[in-house]
Amino acid sequence: MKDFGRIPAWGVAAVGVGAVLFISVAHAMATAATDQLGIWQQVWGWTPLILFGPPGVLGGMTLNILISFLAMVIGTMTGVLLGILQLAPAQIVRRTAWGMTQFFRNSPWLVLLFFAMLLLPFELRFGGLRVPVPDWLKATLGLALPVMANLSEVTRGAIRSIPEGQWESCEALGLTRFQTYSRVILPQCVKRMMPPWMNWYALLTMATPLVSIVGVSDAVALTRDALAASGRSDLLIPMYLWLLLWFGLYCYPIALWTQRMERRFAVIS
């Protein structure tokens, strides 16, 4: 007790204040930790919905990827054709193809998406048969338009980079224009077109969230629905970051692969 008496009063006070501070900080941290856990559980709980959509319904990130595949297929087929037409012998064909390419290249993705959503029919009629066109399919066609225009430019550039001698040899061999393209020119273009083609695929995938604006239940629309349903403002930042992360996980490897390919195919001049 004697020793205790030597401890000054401010020391006791300091220890007391310290203890109170420690306990309150620990308590705050523990609460925060359970809150953090709560947030993480919430985010994790909504993840299946965001990635795969409601059970039995096409939606979520799966739909984003499906739209990106389909739009890329349509955009590539029409784009390559348009690119070839940009180099057609007839001037009127050349000019028209050039004009279409520039027009769709210079228009914003979102405007073209509205264009397709509002001006394409909601059902097709084959005689008496009525086939409804789902919204997501119209959105896919809308997203295919800018892809088409940009791949048209990529194709034109690739074809023009093939040395003139290739064309002259084909002519000397008596190949038709179709044979020249399909057997000689286009196969050589594939390698050169690969890196920009993949780059456009990544850009297209990052444009698919636009469909949420026109009412398609993709990953972004479902994330917003989930946020509205949970009604928690502390979920806003984690949920949007989580969504960004999923898109990043899909697109970043494509970007890395494209870069590697670009280096490998680099033409050493």
Partner 1 sequence: MDGVAQWFLWLHQAHGANFTIFYDAFDSARFLRGIGTTIRLAVVSIVASILVGILGAWLQSHPSRTVRWPVTTYIQFFRNTPPLVQMYFFYFALGPALGTALGSSTPPLGNFAWAVIALSFYGAAFNIEIFRAGLEAVPRATLEAAESMGLSPRQVFLHVVFPLALRFSLPALTSNVINLAKTTSLAYAIAVPETLFVANQIWSDSINVLEMMVSLLIVYNLMVGVIVAAAHWLERRLRMPGYIQ
Residue ranges in contact with partner 1 by CB under 8 A: 102-103, 106-111, 114-115, 118-119, 202, 206-210, 212-213, 220, 224, 227, 233, 236-237, 239-241, 243-244, 247-248, 251-252, 255
Q: Which is nearer to partner 1, 194 or 227 (CB)?
A: 227
**106 vs 126, which CB is nearer to partner 1?**
106
Show contacts of 36-39: CB within 8 Å, 24+ apart: 39/234, 39/235, 39/238
Q: For residue 149, which of 191, 198, 195, 200 has the smallest C-alpha distance?
A: 200
Give the shortest CB-72-to-partner 1 separation in angstroms: 16
The smaller minimum CB distance to partner 1, of residues 173 and 241, is found at 241
| Rounded-to-10 torsion of CA 70, 76, 82, 87 | 180
Length of the chain: 269
Cβ of residue 60: shortest distance to partner 1, in angstroms? 14
Separation CA 132–CA 120 (nearest Å): 11
CB of 234 to partner 1, least distance (A): 9
In the complex, what is the shortest distance from the CB of residue 111 to partner 1, in angstroms, rounded to a whole number? 6
Q: How far is the CB of 32 from partner 1 (least distance, A)?
A: 16
Query: With respect to partner 1, which residue has the nearer C-beta, 57 or 237?
Result: 237
DSSP state of 113: H
The identity of residue 187, as a single letter, is P
Q: How far is the CB of 239 from partner 1 (least distance, A)?
A: 8
φ, ψ for residue 123 (rounded to 5)?
Answer: -150, 155
Helix (H) or strand (E) holding 130: strand 129-132
Q: How far is CA 75 from CA 20, 67, 135, 185, 192, in A?
A: 66, 12, 18, 20, 18
Of 11 and 248, which CB lies nearer to partner 1 in the complex structure? 248
Contact between 112 and 163 under an 8 Å Cβ cutoff? The reply is: no
Query: Which of 177/224 has CB closer to partner 1?
Result: 224
